[in-house]
Structure 1
Amino acid sequence: MNTLIAVAFDQKNEAAEVLNRLGQLQRDYLLDLEDAVVVTRDEEGKVKIKQSVDLTAGGALYGGLWGSLIGLIFAGPLGMLLAGGTSAALGAIAGSLNDYGIDDDFIKDLGNQLQPNTSALFILLRNAVEDKVLDELKDVRGKILRTSLSKEAEDRLARVLSGPTATVDNPAPTMAQ
């Protein structure tokens, strides 16, 4: 089952930076991202959404591959070019119309709630090695907007994102106190 996590950040570029780190964790096989979206809100309040999955390119590639193969089989090299080009265009159109991953309306609704000059990261996880991923993100600070995690897992993530609880003015209590 996939897991949705949406986290807000105080800085405009922070969500993109965290997504880059998650990309490295994915290359290290510590997590498997199905989809990720970075949302920023600029100083004028305009919301910008950057999808991590390019559906148009994927549809064009898939359509072009199958169209070329079918064209080659039934009409030779010329048919391969004609069918491949037509199928690539149709695949790009189909890919851009396909609603994949995180719901666009959900992203827009939460994005409109962001303060100016802040950002948010929406991720849809297939799988993750939780303890190692949380350890890698221990210096990241953010606020959970929404998750589909269990209450216990959400609490663990919230503790990591809130950072250390001890400060100079308010040290953590020790066992002797």
Structure 2
Amino acid sequence: MSTLVVIVYPTEQKAEEVRQHLFQLQKEHLISLADAVIATKTESGHIKLNQLVNTTAAGAVTGSFWGLLVGVIFLNPLLGVAVGAASGALGGALTDVGIDDTFMKELAESIQPGNGALFVLIREMTEDKVLKDIQNFGGTVLKTSLDESKEQLLRDALQKHADSISPVPPAV
């Protein structure tokens, strides 16, 4: 079963930095990601999703290949490519892999304009090492599917960063 974690960062760039760091941790086999999407809210309130895979483009490429193959068989490769690309693009546009886009847009409505919400769908992870590694990035947990104790560990790890950069008020 996959785990969903949504962390809000002050900027889209910070969220992208964390996403790239998670990809590095994946290369080190400390985490296995099913999806990682950044949602931002513009000043006008529009929600933008920065996804890893453009399913429409991927569908068009796949459809073009199969259309070419069918077109060669029926002696009309150009028509086959055109029909294949169109049907593949349509199929790709209708395909939603990973985290549901509607869910991400609805949840991202609650963030402030300019913030970046990092949606991560985790297949597996070495929790203690990953938490220790990402705590230096800070962030605020918006939503998780973790159980309460694990969610609190994540919140505590991210809070350590916030506490380390906040000056301690002098004792009176």
- Scaled by the length of structure 1, the TM-score of the pair is 0.80
The 2-side partners of 1:71 and 1:95 are apart by 21
What's the CA shift string for 1:70-125, capped at 9, x where partnerless? 444x33xx444432342122111110111222122221112111112212111112
Q: 1:59 corresponds to which residue?
A: 59
Counterpart amino acid of residue 169 in structure 1: V
Does 1:105 pair with 2:102? yes
**Residues 138 and 161 in structure 1, CA contact (< 8 A), matched pair in contact too:** yes
Counterpart Cα distance in 2 of 1:3 and 1:133 = 14
Which residue identity does 2:17 align to in structure 1?
Answer: E
* Partner residue, 1:90: 87
| Structure 2 runs not aligned, ≥5 long | none
Alignment root-mean-square deviation, CA: 2.4
User: For residues 43 and 84 of structure 1, do their structure 2 counterparts lie closer, same or farther at Cα, with a shift above 3 Å needed?
Assistant: closer
Indicate if the aligned counterparts of 1:12 and 1:42 stay in contact, CA closer than 8 A. Answer: no
% of aligned pairs identical?
40
Counterpart of 1:13 in 2: which secondary structure? helix
Change (3 A) 1:113 1:86: same
Q: Distance in 2 between matches of 1:79 and 1:128?
A: 49
Task: Say if 1:127 and 1:82 are closer, same or farther in 2 by CA, change over 3 A.
Answer: farther
- Please tell me whether the aligned partners of residues 12 and 38 of structure 2 are also in contact (alpha carbons under 8 angstroms): no
What is residue 112 of structure 2 aligned with on the other side?
115
Higher helix share: 2
Structure 1: segments with no counterpart, 5+ residues: 171-177
Indicate the residue corresponding to 1:19 in structure 2. 19
Q: Once structures 1 and 2 are overlaid, which stretch shifts more, 96-105 or 157-166?
A: 157-166
Counterpart CA distance in 1 for 2:50 and 2:58 is 16
Residues 33-58 of structure 1, C-alpha deviations (whole Å, 9 max, x = no match): 22222111234444322222210122
Q: 1:66 to 1:141 in 2, by over 3 A?
A: same
